[in-house]
Copies of this chain bind each other. A is one copy, B any other.
Amino acid sequence: MVDIATRVYNHKWKIDPIVRSLIDTDFYKLLMCQSVFRNKPQTDVVFSLINRSNHIPLAELVDEGELREQLDHIRSLGLSRGESTWLRGNTFYGKRQMFRPDFMEWFENLRLPPYHLERKGDQYELTFEGKWHEVMLWEIPALAVLMELRSRAVLDQMRRFELQVLYARAMTRVWEKIEKLREIDGLSIADFGTRRRHSFLWQDWCVQAMIEGLGSAFTGTSNCLIAMRREVEAIGTNAHELPMVYCALAETDEELAKAPYDVLSDWHEEHEGNLRIILPDTYGTKGFLAHAPDWLAGWTGVRVDSGDPAEGAEIAIGWWKSRGEDPMQKRIIFSDALDVDKIVELHARFSGRAKVSFGWGTLLTNDFRGLVPDDRLAPFSLVCKAAAANGKPTVKLSDNPEKAMGPEDEIERYKRVFHVGKQAAIKVEV
């Protein structure tokens, strides 16, 4: 029997919305948003889309009208009662009422601010301007929309059984990865794949497959909506945008040098335990840790997000030792360009020397490499970053010069202020 009501209801949709909830976003965005809401509520920022894989002609692949429809739909979203209840009532990282009443009240009334979209050749210029805590919530849905519209453009040309077999192959691939991960004793892994996922439904499938296939080794997902629906932990702490904006706001070189530690000082006041995770690579891991205040060595762990991950982990372990800390009591979270082989390798190398976790992103939720002709579903490196704060440009260096961003002269200034020497380049693929 056909459920006529459901069919009719579906026909009412003008579009098939990609993002259907304001919490279809990364958990750390909400944590950072609350921190910004509290500490930097008057900051104006510009977030901007950057396609690091500029061989992908996004504007050729994705129709501008459809993109606008999807973005407009996101602007129509408000927090639902159930979502608000989940955020208010849930225990995150063992803590109740992680989100404070004044923040929740603001969030419940939030609609995302306008966007600016313009086609430039075969790429889109997509920017968001406004108060930092509002604009920042555009990053994840904007990326997810672009990634999924690109997937849809390719899938649109495929027939029914071709599609089914495509997903059969992709499912088999994910499952074979899970089967390999299952062999790792003491594994701790989470889904970090929202922003560059193939599609929402696919990410949701991957999370469910991880739940069944990995059991307690799967610690949760960064995606709040999926965490809520699948009843798993929402995972995440903080990201580069905090030091990037704090640094852009610095007036002098002295303030600039201090700014990344100010970020963590604010965070220190707000959070404890497993949320005290250092992200040290924004302006070079080595220099950041060498000049860090002692209280930072008391934090729970580090997240290694660029450069050679083994090197980053060795630096952290050496740093803890130099500050009299026991690395076995610390957590190292790897989250950059992971796939199964690298996870196996990193786990084998570090699991006896520290607590090790993995935040698995694009190659979990978007590994369609080689599954269609011309690899037109292969993931690519799309980001949406804070480009300016109160009119001043931001800079990111990271541990890989290929990921550096900002004006040339500012990059040089930051390199000098943060004592960043020569860095090894690593090709950015996802």
Contacts and interface: CB of A to CB of B under 8 A. Distances in A.
B161 A209 contact: yes
A269 interface: no
Nearest to A2: B3
Given A168-B172, A169-B172, A161 B3 contact: no
A38 to B, nearest CB: 41
Nearest to A171: B168
A159 interface: yes
A424 interface: no
Nearest to A4: B3
Contacts of A213: 161
A194 to B, nearest CB: 20
Interface residues of A, number: 22
Interface in A149-177: 159-162, 164-165, 167-169, 171-172, 175
A97 interface: no
Contacts of A165: 171-172, 175, 209
Contact of A9 (B1, B6, B171): B1
Interface string A341-358: 000000000000000000
Interface in A9-31: 9
A208 interface: yes
Contact of A212 (B161, B175, B208): B161
Contact of A1 (B6, B160, B167): B6
A208 B165 CA distance: 12
A213 B3 CA distance: 30
A165 to B, nearest CB: 4
Q: Which of A2, A3, A6, A172 has the most CB of B within 10 A?
A: A172
A226 to B, nearest CB: 15
Interface in A127-186: 159-162, 164-165, 167-169, 171-172, 175
Given A1-B6, A169-B172, 16 more contacts: A1-B3, A1-B5, A2-B3, A3-B6, A160-B212, A161-B209, A161-B212, A161-B213, A162-B212, A165-B171, A165-B175, A165-B209, A167-B168, A168-B168, A168-B171, A172-B172
Interface of A: 1-3, 5-6, 9, 159-162, 164-165, 167-169, 171-172, 175, 208-209, 212-213
The list of the 8 closest CB pairs from A to B, nearest first, reads A3-B3, A168-B168, A165-B175, A168-B171, A161-B212, A1-B6, A161-B209, A168-B172
5 contacts: A3-B6, A161-B213, A168-B171, A168-B175, A172-B172
